[in-house]
Structure 1
Amino acid sequence: MINVALVDDEALTLELHRSYIERLDGFQVVAECAGARAALARIIEPDGGAEPIDLVLLDMTMPDGTGLDVLRHLRARAADVDVIAITGVRDADVVRQVVALGAAQYLVKPFAFPTFRDRLEQYRDYRARMHASAGEATQAEIDALLSALRPAVAAAPPKGLSPETLELVSGDVRLHGPASATETAERLRMSRVAARRYLEHLVDSGRAERVPRYGKVGRPETEYRWR
């Protein structure tokens, strides 16, 4: 289980991110901090019996300090904790400094749950690979480890496909796959032809794959599974 600390001065944002974490496997919120000083105290000098923190979801703007201040202090103290910046700040210099200080991700507000989920799942994959590695790594293993934190760039939907519907189909495949175009269409109340177009786009963009479904006489039916 990955222990998460949420750091943000907005109560609604803390509540939202907590609800997002609760929808993910392998993560749990063990601390919520509304300011930079509270975050440093909880991470660096926790009370006796407090859960250790593995990952900090860190805002960049707070009344008593910036996320950069928190990140600099954590690195100066060699705190064994990973950081994902979650902020509305888009300034290139801030992004550069955050990356230079070793943040695993930089996520710009506002965003929907699927984006949040993808970044956290990328981090979980990276952490699992780190813990599984032992001895001398090959170049391929090093490349795979570094690429685990790089978000995949999804292909833009072709003309005639709606980004909103694409997100719905993506979520359906994640939840119910492997699934046929007919089954997806029935759940989302759309035509089978339309569902198949969206599913084929997911395959073309590398986000899903086709798998055969056997068990019936004749040609096997095509199913789609999230990669």
Structure 2
Amino acid sequence: MIRALVVEDDPRTAAAHAEYLRRIDGFEVAGLAHTASAARRELRDAVARGERIHLLLLDLNLPDGHGLDLCRELRASGLAVDVIAVTAVRELDAVRRAVAVGVVQYLIKPFVFEVFAEKLAAYRDFFDRMRAPVSTLSQREVDTAFAALRTSNAPGLPKGLSEETLDAVSQLLAEGADARSASEVAEALGLSRVTARRYLEHLADRGVAVRAARHGSRGRPELEYSRPRAATE
């Protein structure tokens, strides 16, 4: 589970964001903080308990300081926690400074649940890739990890799909003669199984991949995907 701390000065807004978070698979609310000092305390207490907070949903305009100053403090302390800015601040300079201090997503208020869920799902895919049980990543694995954070679509792609990840999935199918399941593609590219299947289904719907039932395996039937024969010969 990804444990997220909601940092928002308005209690009702904080509660709403926490409720949004609970509706998304893979996330757990680690706590709510209404000030920068309260956020620092929550983070210190989590460390003292031996617990991990992976993510801050961070408002930038807090009563006792700016959210980006808190980000700088966290970076300087060496505390590894990702930050999604959840704010009404939309000035170009603020966005640039957010990128400079390591904010991984920027969500502008007001927004509906679907937009919130899309950003969090993209972060979850990035988080899953960064937990790969290896010490180094290939260029393609790095590219697909960062592509997960981009939720804006290229023309013609369904919502939530990135062109970079689609290319990586397509290339993986083209590299071998054997068909691959969503689980196998997920493992090879550092994706979640659900995400891998979305890309494979999109390729199959476009006729770029062929889907078929995988026979001979026990348990729940599984689909496998391969390049069309003319594309592999």
Instruction: State TM-score, norm by structure 2.
Output: 0.64
8 A contact 1:44–1:79 mirrored in 2: no
Note the C-alpha offset of 1:137. 2.3
Q: How far, CA to CA, are the matches of 2:135 and 2:72 in structure 1?
A: 30
- What one-letter code is carried by the residue in structure 2 that aligns with 1:24? I
Note the C-alpha offset of 1:104. 0.8
The answer to whether residue 134 in structure 2 is matched with residue 139 in structure 1 is no
Distance 1:119 1:105, change over 3 A: same
Distance 1:50 1:8, change over 3 A: farther
SS of residue in 2 equivalent to 1:86: strand
The answer to whether residue 85 in structure 2 is matched with residue 85 in structure 1 is yes
Alignment of 1:27-42 (within 5 A): 27-42=27-42
Alignment of 1:1-227 (within 5 A): 1-46=1-46, 48-49=48-49, 51-132=51-132, 134-153=134-153, 155=155, 209=202, 210=205
Note the C-alpha offset of 1:63. 1.1
Q: How far, CA to CA, are the matches of 1:96 and 1:114 in structure 2?
A: 25
- What one-letter code is carried by the residue in structure 1 that aligns with 2:53? I
8 A contact 1:44–1:74 mirrored in 2: no
Note the C-alpha offset of 1:52. 2.2
Distance 1:115 1:96, change over 3 A: same
Note the C-alpha offset of 1:213. 11
Note the C-alpha offset of 1:31. 1.1
- What one-letter code is carried by the residue in structure 1 that aligns with 2:65? G
Summarize deviations over 1:149-192 as a string: whole Å, max 9, x none: 11133659xxxxxxxxxx9xxxxxxxxxxxxxxxxxxxxxxxxx
Q: How far, CA to CA, are the matches of 1:27 and 1:149 in structure 2?
A: 16
In structure 2, the gaps of 5 or more residues are 160-198, 214-233
Summarize deviations over 1:40-60 as a string: whole Å, max 9, x none: 121135474374211000000
Instruction: State TM-score, norm by structure 1.
Output: 0.66
Percent sequence identity is: 41
Q: What is the aligned residue count? A: 167
SS of residue in 2 equivalent to 1:132: coil
Summarize deviations over 1:47-81 as a string: whole Å, max 9, x none: 74374211000000011111011111111111111
Q: How far, CA to CA, are the matches of 1:213 and 1:136 in structure 2?
A: 34
SS of residue in 1 equivalent to 2:4: strand
8 A contact 2:123–2:148 mirrored in 1: yes
SS of residue in 2 equivalent to 1:79: coil
Q: How far, CA to CA, are the matches of 1:112 and 1:52 in structure 2?
A: 28
Q: Please, which moves more after superposition, 25-34 or 124-133? A: 124-133
SS of residue in 2 equivalent to 1:31: strand
Q: How far, CA to CA, are the matches of 1:64 and 1:132 in structure 2?
A: 38
8 A contact 1:104–1:149 mirrored in 2: yes
Summarize deviations over 1:192-221 as a string: whole Å, max 9, x none: xxxxxxxxxxxxxx8x7449999xxxxxxx
Distance 1:32 1:50, change over 3 A: farther
- What one-letter code is carried by the residue in structure 2 that aligns with 1:44? R
Pairwise CA RMSD = 2.7
Q: How far, CA to CA, are the matches of 2:112 and 2:155 in structure 1?
A: 18
